[in-house]
Structure 1
Amino acid sequence: MFFPSAQRKDQTREGLKKKWARWRDIIYVQPIEEIRAYYGEKVALYFAWLGWYTIMLLYAAVVGLIVFFYGFVHFDNSQISQEICTANNTLMCPLCDQNCPYWPLSDTCTYAKVTHLFDNEGTVFFAMFMAVWATVFLELWKRARANTVSGWNLYNWDEDEEELALELINDPECTIKKHEHSYWRFMAVLLGAAVVIAVLIGIAQALVIYRVVVTVSFMRSSWEFLREHANTAAVMSGAVLHYLTIVIMTKVNRVIAGYLCNLEKPRTFTERENSFTTKVFTFQFVTHFSSLFYVAFFLGRYFSYKWRLMKDRRCRVHGEDGSEDSAAECWRTNYRLGAVHVFSLFDEFLEMVIQYSFTTIFVAAFPLAPVLAFLNNVLEIRLDAIKMTRLQRRFVPRKANDIGIWLQVLEAVGVLAVITNGLVIAVTSDFIPRLIYLYVYGPCANGNTEGINCLSGYVDSSLSVFYTKDFEDLTQVSRSLYTNVTECRYRDYRSAADYSFSTQFWHIFAARLGFLIVFEHVAVCIKFVAAWFVPDIPQRVENYNLDMKKQHLLEELSMMPEESDEYHKEGSPNSYRDFLMDDRMIERSTEV
């Protein structure tokens, strides 16, 4: 691809610094055409996608705030929170079997109120909304992409064809790489990827076990402050370990993905890029999945460049001020900027797609995720602009007419988000137990709803009784505050006689399974309907491409040689071109 050296001032690095890489322009639309003129279509499409993603996040953020404020309005009015906050006489069983005390249920009053902010009646609606939002976002992006690349005359551009053409231009006698497929090589790569994923899952499980063990150890500590804040200390130390794991495994994942990619022996650069992208994203997805706040606020925020590079150093090309030293100094300054490579843009995409995964997958547990993602992206666009124009060398411009394999990754994340949100609502939250109590076991189950809260008594029904005489012999309970305790409560649905599951447990279990099946089927159906309802390509673009095809076909037909006179017969077409363009032949073939 040829990029002219003579560009308009607003299409140079200095022009982009003034028009794009400034905080004062944070609310303005990005100059995509100028970005394309300087960095090429691939970088321009990344920023076009990022801008579109940020705009669509605004709608999800508004709905998420509505759900959050709905819980906030009922912050103090929740019947469940009120019952927990007044349960001073309800003793809960110790959290460990060695020197852990009984504790009143009212100690979790604040936690119960905060939980209601996110786990309320609006959560189910918001999860369904986000399933539709993810589909509409991708479908509208396909339309926006079609509009953009059609204006660049790249809609039907084929990267593999251009790569082959470049090889033939460099060496007309070159040997073309044939398509090959080795099942043994495929199985080796698949096995290697499975081993890496298993190791990453094992590390995550080890961190969970670490938290449990450390919490118990801190609770047994002789230091009173550490005992009182055992859980907080365990969470903080676990977060530090998780951060170190992410930093280390991010580097390891890239090395392993590169090795597996080489083992596959991809035929073209596009195949190599797609293979590398899929593997690294999969490994990073597993590594980061429990790190929502890390991804939202810290990932990609650290630059290994000195502050002095943030200064706006203006360079003039040779001839503008008549000094060769000025141009040479400009070149030296640009050379000292951070190096870029062919996968530099990959890192930016990876960060945003990981964030998109958390925004959609965890939305049922954290409705404010779209809000945080939106605020992050508003800053991310300008940070990336500043980084590219002031801290890094210029990317090698590359053609592109889409975001590549990332679109398939986003679609897969959308399907996974439906499954995960259904599991969060059905299995993790109290939404289903509350419904079962409301319509089967609660005071309103018989239809009488006058002067009574239908969730009255829910907390007591969700706690089972454990008799202290049934403690194991090795169990040592701290009795510093409570003595002569004969029973305590724990969160479950079990019979006090033999500790077997109660009838209420099986009702809840069946309802959870039924809700999960219905929710996911309805959400998937809505996704498919939304995908069908929103065409991928606007009619204007389709008609434009149709006109271009007609024009190209006419040009090709006009260059075809006329057939010899021997071909001409009475009633026959005068030429092969006439034969192709004869409407009667077209109608006749249609009738047949």
Structure 2
Amino acid sequence: MNRHEEEEIVYEIGVVVPKRNVIEGKESRDCVEILEAEFRKVGLIVNKVSGVSDEFIRVAAPLETLGRAAAQMQMRKPTHIGMDLQFEWEEVDAFVNQPDGSLFSWCERFQCYQHLLYGIVNKSDSGIVLNFDGKEFHWEVGQSLLKRLESEGIVKQVFPLHDETKRRKLLRSWALSWWDVTDQPIDEIYSYYGTKVAIYFAFLGKFTNWMFFPAAFALILQFFDFGSFQWLVLPAFFISIILWAVFFFQFWKRKNYALLARWHINCTIGASQGHKLLGMECGSLQSPLELIRKKGMDINQEKQLYQRYEWLGYFMRFRNDAIIILSIICLQLPFELTYAHLYEVIGSDLLKFGLTGIYLFVIQYFTRLGGKLSVKLIRYENNENTEHRADSLVYKVFGLYFMQSYIGIFYHALLHRNFTTLRQVLFQRLMISEVLNNLLENSLPYLKYNYKKYRTIRNKKKDEKESTSGKIHVTSRVEKEYMKPAYSASIGDEVEDGLFDDFLELALQFGMIMMFACAFPLAFAFSVVSNIMEIRTDALKLLSMMKRPVPRAATTIGAWINIFQFLIVMSICTNSALLVWLYDEEGKWKVEPGLAGILIMEHILLLFKFGFSRLVPEEPAWVRANRAKNATQAQKVCSKQLLRNFSGGERTFYGPKKTE
């Protein structure tokens, strides 16, 4: 029985500490032993594993421990009456379970672990002297023990651990399931990785599935001759892909609402656990207004403070956006135009291909510098929460990548109007960028893991002065996970995680195939194959090559939806211009029937793009019905509870009950 219970324990958090040189006969309060003891005091299950050069404390938590931590955090969870209420462990049956049957989602469990691990503080009346390898330091009153050990470098890292049973199941049903093409176990992905990762893969799968239509249309254009109707083919293709894109994003919004309803997530709640206002964290129970009143401000002072904060935020965002725009104009634009001009001048196709490869490699470094600058700039913006900071970062960095990805193509289309060169550039950009990104995404994590493993073993041999014949192996699974790279963004993981780069790659691909669709329709077919590969390689990367990501809450794909909508509008304008240049070979720009028809078509498509959202609601009818039903049920329960309070011995609102 004990063995069966031991096998059911799932260690979800790992804590890394260096190995110690134990000095016998010397009495000291070893900080690692104290840390383990404190973990057990708060109800955690602790298991220590010895590695090559470090020790690992694996941590698990019974359901009751997580439940009481959630109650202490005043976590709000959906109930069976349709309301999100503060969690109480004693009333656990009133709360709705997750789709996989568990009480807490992975994001909620991780928050509970964070609360338990970092909530261990010194509650004594004086500081405590701790020791590690002969080094002494003080644990002050009210200070978090884990943060103190992190500041001393004793705790190297705290990271989530993979659940080996669920990981292997996802490998079989997701990463290695090539026959399913775009089908994915989204509910299992949500249970294991959280909302943000699940929404990304749901979006990628639906996007790839919908792309089969324009890809099939493009193949028909490539291999069939329409004779005298050939001049109608490109306008028909242009209209169809714009309608396809508008339909897709509207129906994706409906899919997004359906997923949130299935996962019992209130879509009106932001992703952040709190926000910063007037320099104060407002994720607590007290509102910002109450905090201001504590300082003794009157109404006029409060109004002035809020207005000053609001306009200062607008000014800081305007200043930062201006810095990014000027850096693009002064630094990036000349570089992009130089590359485009050299590409037009060079005659050898091999040299052109090599120039494109070198350009893409150099520009990646340049834009990453711009991304890191953007991260520093948004620190001085008064964004309301982490989600708004992430959106601000996305807009700034995408502006840099937009210029470096498309300015050279605009150069060929606008100035030279050379469609042969334009198709060649598009093909090379798509092929080189897709191959380069896939190689980097899948090879770099593997190389980083092996390099860290090699350094660990080499340093161990040097420390112990072992001979080359003595072999040291990394055997523990927790140590192997520690050596894997984190799922972080190329511009840093302070605001965003690795999904930033995945969404950026997808947005740049979408812009490439949409804005120049009339010049290179076959790009849709290449993108379908690339995205099918992307689904499986991203899944394999997350499951086998990376640490388990820290869960991040989200309800949508964030600022990316606005970027995709912007690219649709851009594609209407650019494809209309491409059609004009195709049919106006003499370049006279006369308002003839063909040109007038293209301009009318452009205005109709723009009107349809902005008007279609009014015709098809974003929220499905069954989701609205469930929400209304839950609201009605909650109102009835609250009304009954109020009546019970009124009929009791004491009246809450009308004073005490009269006695005869």
* TM norm structure 2: 0.58
Which of 379, 382, 400 lines up with 1:283 in the alignment? 400
2:311 aligned counterpart, secondary structure:
coil
1:121 aligned counterpart, secondary structure:
helix
Alignment-derived partner of residue 258 in structure 1: 375
1:535 aligned counterpart, secondary structure:
coil
Which of 281, 305, 314 lines up with 2:445 in the alignment? 305
| TM superposition shift of 1:307 | 6.6
| Separation in 2, partners of 1:280, 1:154 | 29
Alignment-derived partner of residue 619 in structure 2: 537
Contact 1:11 1:34 in 2 (8 A): no
Which of 144, 163, 167 lines up with 2:255 in the alignment? 144
Which of 15, 20, 45 lines up with 2:174 in the alignment? 20
| TM superposition shift of 1:555 | 2.9
> Residues 37 and 243 of structure 1: is their aligned pair in 2 closer, same or farther, counting only changes over 3 Å?
same
Which of 564, 572, 580 lines up with 1:410 in the alignment? 564
1:560 aligned counterpart, secondary structure:
helix
Output the amino acid matched with 1:262.
R
> Residues 553 and 409 of structure 1: is their aligned pair in 2 closer, same or farther, counting only changes over 3 Å?
farther
Output the amino acid matched with 1:52.
K
Pick the structure with greater CA Rg.
1
| TM superposition shift of 1:506 | 5.3
- The CA deviation string for residues 129-175 of structure 1, in whole angstroms up to 9 with x for no partner, is 11101100001101111111101111434126742599667797996
| TM superposition shift of 1:559 | 3.4
Q: Does 1:190 align with 2:350?
A: no
Contact 2:274 2:284 in 1 (8 A): no
Which of 303, 328, 333 lines up with 1:201 in the alignment? 333
| Separation in 2, partners of 1:348, 1:153 | 26
Output the amino acid matched with 1:306.
Y
Alignment-derived partner of residue 130 in structure 1: 241
| TM superposition shift of 1:23 | 5.1
1:263 aligned counterpart, secondary structure:
coil
| Separation in 2, partners of 1:164, 1:264 | 13
> Residues 278 and 545 of structure 1: is their aligned pair in 2 closer, same or farther, counting only changes over 3 Å?
same
| Separation in 2, partners of 1:557, 1:404 | 37
Q: Does 1:246 align with 2:363?
A: yes
Output the amino acid matched with 1:3.
R
Output the amino acid matched with 2:335.
I
Output the amino acid matched with 1:283.
L
Contact 1:19 1:25 in 2 (8 A): no
- The CA deviation string for residues 156-213 of structure 1, in whole angstroms up to 9 with x for no partner, is 341267425996677979969965332542442232121122132222111123235x
Alignment-derived partner of residue 552 in structure 2: 398
Contact 1:9 1:15 in 2 (8 A): no
Contact 1:154 1:400 in 2 (8 A): no
| TM superposition shift of 1:329 | 1.1
Output the amino acid matched with 2:621.
Q
Aligned counterparts, 1:412-427, within 5 A: 412-427=566-581
Alignment-derived partner of residue 36 in structure 2: none
| TM superposition shift of 1:516 | 4.2
> Residues 308 and 21 of structure 1: is their aligned pair in 2 closer, same or farther, counting only changes over 3 Å?
farther
How many pairs were matched up?
422
Which of 11, 15, 40 lines up with 2:194 in the alignment? 40
Contact 2:332 2:404 in 1 (8 A): yes
Which of 387, 391, 398 lines up with 1:274 in the alignment? 391
| TM superposition shift of 1:263 | 3.4
* TM norm structure 1: 0.64
Contact 1:136 1:534 in 2 (8 A): no
> Residues 57 and 347 of structure 1: is their aligned pair in 2 closer, same or farther, counting only changes over 3 Å?
same
Deviates more, 1:278-287 or 1:257-266: 257-266
> Residues 351 and 160 of structure 1: is their aligned pair in 2 closer, same or farther, counting only changes over 3 Å?
closer
- The CA deviation string for residues 353-404 of structure 1, in whole angstroms up to 9 with x for no partner, is 1111112111111111211111100000000000000000011122222111
- Structure 1: which 5+ residue stretches go unaligned? 79-115, 216-229, 311-325, 434-491, 494-504, 566-574, 577-592
> CA RMSD for the aligned pairs?
3.6
Alignment-derived partner of residue 342 in structure 2: 210
Relative contact order higher in (CA < 8 Å, ≥ 6 apart): 1
> Residues 516 and 234 of structure 1: is their aligned pair in 2 closer, same or farther, counting only changes over 3 Å?
farther
Q: Does 1:521 align with 2:603?
A: yes
| TM superposition shift of 1:21 | 1.5
- The CA deviation string for residues 434-453 of structure 1, in whole angstroms up to 9 with x for no partner, is xxxxxxxxxxxxxxxxxxxx
Q: Does 1:333 align with 2:487?
A: no
| Separation in 2, partners of 1:147, 1:419 | 33
- The CA deviation string for residues 89-113 of structure 1, in whole angstroms up to 9 with x for no partner, is xxxxxxxxxxxxxxxxxxxxxxxxx
Which of 147, 153, 171 lines up with 2:264 in the alignment? 153
| TM superposition shift of 1:557 | 2.9
- The CA deviation string for residues 34-64 of structure 1, in whole angstroms up to 9 with x for no partner, is 1111100111011001000010101111112
- The CA deviation string for residues 528-564 of structure 1, in whole angstroms up to 9 with x for no partner, is 4543333212111111111112122223333336898
> Residues 169 and 426 of structure 1: is their aligned pair in 2 closer, same or farther, counting only changes over 3 Å?
closer
> Residues 362 and 10 of structure 1: is their aligned pair in 2 closer, same or farther, counting only changes over 3 Å?
farther
- The CA deviation string for residues 241-273 of structure 1, in whole angstroms up to 9 with x for no partner, is 422332222322212221332232423211110
| Separation in 2, partners of 1:410, 1:264 | 24
Contact 2:394 2:559 in 1 (8 A): yes
Alignment-derived partner of residue 432 in structure 2: 294
Contact 2:271 2:555 in 1 (8 A): no
Which of 199, 202, 222 lines up with 1:68 in the alignment? 222
Contact 2:274 2:283 in 1 (8 A): no
Alignment-derived partner of residue 2 in structure 1: 108
| TM superposition shift of 1:298 | 2.8
Contact 1:364 1:421 in 2 (8 A): yes
Deviates more, 1:262-271 or 1:179-188: 179-188
> Residues 26 and 200 of structure 1: is their aligned pair in 2 closer, same or farther, counting only changes over 3 Å?
farther
2:207 aligned counterpart, secondary structure:
helix
| Separation in 1, partners of 2:447, 2:615 | 50
| Separation in 1, partners of 2:242, 2:639 | 49
Contact 2:212 2:528 in 1 (8 A): yes
Aligned counterparts, 1:399-478, within 5 A: 399-427=553-581, 429=582, 431-433=583-585
> Residues 23 and 32 of structure 1: is their aligned pair in 2 closer, same or farther, counting only changes over 3 Å?
closer
Alignment-derived partner of residue 222 in structure 1: none
Contact 2:474 2:480 in 1 (8 A): no
- Structure 2: which 5+ residue stretches go unaligned? 1-106, 114-160, 293-304, 410-428, 451-472, 488-492, 648-652, 655-660
Identity %, equivalent residues: 23
| Separation in 2, partners of 1:190, 1:308 | 35
Q: Does 1:549 align with 2:631?
A: yes
> Residues 12 and 519 of structure 1: is their aligned pair in 2 closer, same or farther, counting only changes over 3 Å?
same
| TM superposition shift of 1:331 | 1.0
> Residues 167 and 21 of structure 1: is their aligned pair in 2 closer, same or farther, counting only changes over 3 Å?
farther
Output the amino acid matched with 2:392.
S
1:370 aligned counterpart, secondary structure:
helix
Contact 2:256 2:556 in 1 (8 A): yes
| TM superposition shift of 1:520 | 1.0
> Residues 163 and 534 of structure 1: is their aligned pair in 2 closer, same or farther, counting only changes over 3 Å?
same
Q: Does 1:353 align with 2:512?
A: no
